[in-house]
């Protein structure tokens, strides 16, 4: 079944559930997930580039940014895992990934958009895809809950 046959709410719910579950998997901060539209989004799930657990040391800076980027990519990757394609509703996620990567201090990366940068981003996207497939039952359960409740509290 193509995603055209799914409701917009369900596609949004899968997307936000992808962010929420991968965020939680990594122990990143955040609050609710919602499919209540705002002025510029069909739904939302806060993903903060900070740990909820103990703060990582300076040497782990890249690691948490990497995890943050994986969680940001997980909305789109969850859609692909469930529907076999993306709705293209990840413009804000892409902007946030771009912003995060400016601060990531990736070894060998001289500017955002160079080959090393792309390799790093693609690695994060593959990680997001792998985790979404692995955690798919949990993502689908949360998506169902989002369609029912519109908003789910996920404060870590
Ligand atoms: Zn998103």
pLDDT tens readout for residues 6-43: 899 999 999 999 999 998 888 888 878 999 988 888 88
Whose structure tokens read 């692995």? 134
**Residue range 94-140, pLDDT digits in tens:** 998 988 887 777 788 888 788 998 998 999 999 999 999 999 999 99
Distance 44 CA to ligand 1 centre (A): 7
Instruction: Record the pTM.
Output: 0.88
Residues spanned by the domain of 27:
3-153
Q: Count of domains in the chain?
A: 1
Distance 20 CA to ligand 1 centre (A): 10
What is the SS3 assignment for the chain?
CCHHHCCHHHHHHHHHHHHHHHHHHHCECCCCEECCCCCCCCCEECCCCCECCCCCCHHHHHHHHHHHHHHHHHHHHHHHHHHCCCCCCCHHHHHHHHHHHHCCCCCCCCCCCCHHHHHHHHHHHHHHHHHHHHCHHHHHHHHHHHHHHCEECCCC
Distance 114 CA to ligand 1 centre (A): 24
Distance 46 CA to ligand 1 centre (A): 9
Distance 118 CA to ligand 1 centre (A): 19
- pLDDT band per the 50, 70, 90 thresholds, residue 58: low
Distance 76 CA to ligand 1 centre (A): 7
What is the pLDDT at residue 135?
97
Distance 106 CA to ligand 1 centre (A): 23
CATH code at 121?
1.20.58.760
Distance 45 CA to ligand 1 centre (A): 7
Distance 72 CA to ligand 1 centre (A): 6
């Amino acid at each position: 079944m193509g995603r055209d046959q799914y409701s917009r709410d369900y596609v949004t719910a899968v997307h936000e559930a992808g962010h929420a579950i991968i965020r939680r998997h990594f122990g990143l901060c955040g609050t609710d997930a919602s499919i209540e539209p705002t002025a510029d989004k069909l739904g939302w799930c806060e993903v903060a580039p900070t740990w909820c657990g103990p703060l990582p040391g300076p040497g782990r800076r890249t690691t948490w940014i990497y995890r943050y980027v994986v969680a940001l990519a997980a909305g789109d990757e969850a859609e692909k895992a469930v529907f076999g394609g993306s709705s293209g509703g990840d413009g804000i996620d892409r902007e946030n990934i771009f912003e995060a990567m400016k601060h990531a201090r990736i070894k060998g990366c001289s500017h955002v958009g160079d080959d090393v940068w792309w390799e790093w981003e693609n690695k994060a996207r593959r990680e997001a895809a792998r985790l979404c497939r692995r955690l798919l039952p949990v993502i689908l359960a949360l998506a169902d809950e989002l369609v029912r409740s519109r908003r789910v509290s996920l404060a870590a």
